[in-house]
Structure 1
Amino acid sequence: MAQMNEKLKGIIFDKDGTLFDYAQVWEDVLKEGIDSAFVSMGKAGHQKAKKAMLHLMGIDEHGDSLPKGLLFTHRPFRIFRRFLTYCIRYRVNAIKAIRAYHQSVQNSEAILSRKLSKMDFSIQQTLFSNLKKQGYSIGIITNDNASSTSLFLSLMGLSEYVDFVSCRDSHYKKKPHPQAFQEFCKQQGLGTNQVAMVGDTITDMLFAKRAKAGYTIALLSGSNDKKSLRRLSDVVYPDISALLTDKRLFPAL
């Protein structure tokens, strides 16, 4: 838990599950990707296996996030083990499944563009605008790739507010290693204790802790792992809209 005595001058956001509700954006994309993958594997009719795949990834049949989903895990061995167990149980060829998954990822940007263009991001735009008016430097540090991240920020109307972006294909080490956080601080001339971190997963919270962030905010709009997030953060909110009334970020409120 951070010390609450330093004036905050910077803020870093994760992307998926933080800037927006994860399942709301990604559910349709994942379903379409899974359907396409099973068609390419000649298993289009295997509804039970497709449903189980969606659960494995981290979204249930009601469109809610599952904290233990692979999408919210950044431990390679755990991901490999659970994926292999799934393939054995449902008699899915692991190599074909991986190839099909990578193909679906390549096709996802067109689906995302259609989805995002219909959504209202006025709350996020207001928040980022207010942060800039308060003099904050804003960073985005995500394990998504640069192309997808650029697409999101553009369609959400946030690109103009962002001072720093680190993605999976940037040359910085991935979260929870603090290298990207430290680089943000270096470029913006800030101490780590002057920077707030906003995220939705245990990885984000560990990232903030290792970087010695000044303030750590957890949102339940991604992994929804309430128990772990409460233990590792300074404050927990339902979603990003709550930041507009956070008195640590906006002391004048």
Structure 2
Amino acid sequence: MRGIKAILFDKDGTLVDFQKTWFAIGDVMALTAAGGDREKANTLLELAGYDFANHRFKADSVFAAGTNAEIVELWYPEADETERQTITAGFNTITAEEGAAASVALPGSKDAVTALHGQGFRLGVATNDSTSGAEKTLLALGIAQMFDAAYGYDAVANPKPAPDAIHAFADLTGLKTSEIAMVGDNRHDLEMARAGGAGLVVGVLSGTGTRETLAPMADVILDSVADLPEFLGAA
């Protein structure tokens, strides 16, 4: 851990409060896909992983961990590739604009980012949201200036859990992947870290993942990124 020089963060559930930020946006998307039919929209939300009984998205569900393209594939099974691309572009616009506007930072996340940046760590974001959505969210939270890059699913050939984003971040920073820590709240984040050879794999319990879902892949599990500066400082 003493060799860690950069940190790649997941966005939703790690820096941003997933549940508070994304249900309303997911509901707009589901209603759009359902043509305004409330019952059908609820069915689509459940299909994508929303648990109405507990008012939260399930760990590792399509909505919690997947891309807009995967949501479109799930919700529009009869659409051809051209139609899906058009629908995905529309959903990208919704999530980029509405997601940034509605983003709620997790408690302590902005202070943690500021502290880590001040300690000299290179910082990046890897998300299965769009790149535009990630960049707009960082700007909305007032922390964009501390990040070297943001990689959405559309910025790499293969999104999480493939290791493309961690390789891209290593190329950008000139570091080895073993010098990069990956922090995330879902198995997709940690699987990407393992596949990419990250030097430290950190699971956080601030999103949709649980200790049980994260433990098999994580080197350490923290309550949230608010605990990361102290953890790395003590390493």
TM-score interval, normalised by the smaller of the two chains: 0.7 to 0.9
Cross-structure match for 2:48: 57
The equivalent residue for 2:212 is 227
Matched residue type, 2:31: D
Q: Is the 8 A contact 1:57 1:69 kept in 2?
A: yes
Task: Please name the residue that 1:90 is paired with.
Answer: none
Match of 2:159 in 1: 174
CA RMSD of superposed structures (Å):
3.1
Q: Of residues 109, 115, 119 in structure 2, which corresponds to 1:134?
A: 119
2:234 maps to what in 1? 251
Aligned residues: 230
Partner letter of residue 56 of structure 2? D
Bigger mean CA offset, 216-225 vs 103-112 = 103-112
What does residue 102 of structure 2 align with? Answer: 115
Residue type at the aligned position of 1:176: P
CA distance in 1, matches of 2:107, 2:67: 34
- Match of residue 27 from structure 2: 31
Residue 62 of structure 2: aligned partner: 70
- TM-score, normalising length: structure 1: 0.76
3-state SS of paired residue (1:95): coil
Query: What is residue 110 of structure 2 aligned with on the other side?
Result: 125
Deviation, 1:179, is: 3.2
CA distance in 1, matches of 2:154, 2:194: 23
Report the residue type matching 2:29 in the other structure. G
Residues in 1 aligned to 2:107 and 2:19: alpha-carbon distance in whole angstroms:
19
What secondary structure, in the 3-state scheme, does the structure 1 residue paired with 2:4 have?
A: coil
* Displacement after TM superposition at 1:65 (Å): 2.3
Which has the higher mean CA deviation after the structures are superposed, 149-158 or 119-128? 119-128
Instruction: Name the SS for the 2:120 alignment partner.
Output: coil
- 1:153 lines up with 2:141 in the alignment: no
Q: Please say which of residues 24-33 and 214-223 is displaced more in the overlay.
A: 214-223
Give the gaps of 5 or more residues in structure 1.
88-92
Cα separation, 2, equivalents of 1:229 and 1:173: 22
Alignment partner of 1:14 is 2:10: yes
Asked whether the 8 Å contact 1:65–1:224 carries over to 2, the reply is no
- Residue equivalent to 2:93: 106
Quick one: distance in 2 between partners of 1:121 and 1:21?
A: 5
Distance 1:21 1:121 in 2: 5
Native 8 Å contact 1:137 1:163 kept in 2 = yes
Q: Which runs of 5+ in 2 are unaligned?
A: none
Q: State the structure with bigger RCO (CA 8 A, min sep 6), 1 or 2.
A: 1
Give 2:175's aligned residue.
Answer: 190
Q: Which AA in structure 2 matches 1:58?
A: G
Query: Per the alignment, in what secondary structure is the counterpart of residue 232 of structure 1?
Result: coil
Q: Considering only CA atoms, is the larger Rg found in Structure 1 or Structure 2? A: 1
Q: How far apart in 2 are the matches of 1:68 and 1:209? A: 17
Q: What's the CA shift for 1:100?
A: 6.1
In the TM superposition, residue 123 of structure 1 has moved relative to its aligned partner by 2.3
